[in-house]
């Protein structure tokens, strides 16, 4: 995996979460381990355990192993691991670019930008999609042909709250239930896995960038998406919601001829390199 900072510094690393998922889905032993985890009750139990007081025992080891600078965050007495995971950052640590002609990042993340063609396919959390299959809405998907798909990938050690990327009027949220199950065809003992993560999207009607579809994709098994608003008027930089435990992803769909990507993001994406961006930081300008 290759990442670049905005200053151009290149990092090559093996993301432990992605490595684990590759083992689970890409090997016979991994799929055998994963099979019992597909039961919905396992996900519910795991989520409840991470919301208990006892789960606080996981916080200090996690901070240490991921070298998290806690001085950036609001000091709190966490009631559970999930409380810690969705911790709040100090506003001065993430200044928001308020120029209306700038499209901003919704989250601390690793960004890949893709031009949307007729048959564009892309991977989110080890699952391949088209825009239509991601949205499960052919009419809405058609709106973004020729536009841009921006994938903001959050890792477990990232700040897991996200904001609105522009002023606008948002529609109601649409939730898509995830699918996770084994498929066992005749004479196949390897239990191949079919999955789609749970996700939620809304259309944000903006003056500067047209209609932007904003989607949150939850983490496997225990990930949970918490959005604050239904239909509402919103402001850039305003908190939209947060994820509970698990690496997670925010996706933006932008119409054709609405934005010009920052040069480093465009070049890195073409070279299959993710760009490290921060909550509230400029990633494109109005065309």
Q: Quick check: pTM over 0.85?
A: yes
Does the annotation count 22 as an active-site position?
A: no
> What's residue 190's pLDDT?
47
Does the annotation count 108 as an active-site position?
A: yes
At residue 280, does pLDDT exceed 50? yes
pLDDT in tens, 226-249: 999 999 999 999 999 999 876 689
What does 231-277 look like in DSSP terms, one character per residue? SEEE-TTSEEEEE-SS-EEEEEEE-TTSEEE-HHHHHHHHTT-EEEE
Catalytic member of 80, 105, 248, 269: 248
> What's residue 125's pLDDT?
83
pLDDT in tens, 2-57: 999 999 999 987 655 556 556 655 666 666 666 666 555 666 677 788 889 999 99
Residue 205 to residue 3: CA distance in whole angstroms? 31
pLDDT in tens, 193-229: 567 888 999 999 999 999 999 999 987 655 689 999 9
Residue reference for tokens 């606008």: 168
Cβ atoms of 124 and 251 within 8 Å: the answer is yes
Q: List 2's β-bridge partners, or say none.
A: 12
pLDDT in tens, 62-113: 999 889 999 999 999 999 998 999 999 999 999 999 999 999 999 999 999 9
Catalytic member of 83, 108, 211, 262: 108
């Amino acid at each position: 995996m290759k990442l670049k900072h905005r200053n151009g510094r290149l990092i090559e690393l093996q993301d432990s979460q992605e490595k684990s998922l590759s083992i689970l889905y890409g090997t016979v032993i991994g799929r055998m381990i994963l099979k019992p985890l597909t039961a919905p009750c396992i996900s519910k139990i795991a989520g409840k355990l991470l919301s208990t007081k006892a789960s606080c025992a996981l916080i200090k080891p996690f901070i240490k192993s991921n070298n998290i600078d806690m001085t950036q965050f609001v000091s709190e007495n966490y009631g559970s691991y999930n409380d810690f995971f969705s911790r709040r950052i100090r506003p001065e640590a993430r200044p928001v670019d308020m120029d209306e002609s700038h499209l901003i990042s919704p989250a601390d993340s690793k960004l890949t930008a893709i031009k949307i063609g007729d048959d564009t396919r892309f991977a989110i959390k080890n699952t391949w999609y088209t825009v239509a299959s991601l949205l499960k809405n052919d009419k809405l998907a058609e709106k973004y042909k020729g536009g841009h798909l921006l994938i903001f990938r959050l890792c477990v050690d990232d700040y897991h709250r996200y904001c609105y990327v522009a002023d606008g009027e948002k529609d109601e949220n649409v939730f898509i239930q995830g699918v996770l199950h084994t498929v066992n065809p005749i004479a196949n003992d390897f239990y191949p896995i079919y999955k789609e993560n749970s996700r939620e999207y809304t259309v944000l009607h903006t003056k500067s960038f047209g209609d932007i579809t904003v989607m949150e994709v939850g983490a496997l098994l225990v990930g949970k998406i918490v959005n604050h608003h239904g239909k509402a008027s919103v402001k850039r930089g305003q908190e939209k919601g947060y994820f509970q435990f698990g690496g997670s992803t925010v996706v933006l769909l932008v119409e054709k001829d609405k934005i010009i990507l920052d040069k480093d993001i465009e070049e890195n994406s073409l070279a299959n390199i993710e760009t490290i961006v921060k909550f509230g930081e400029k990633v494109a300008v109005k065309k």
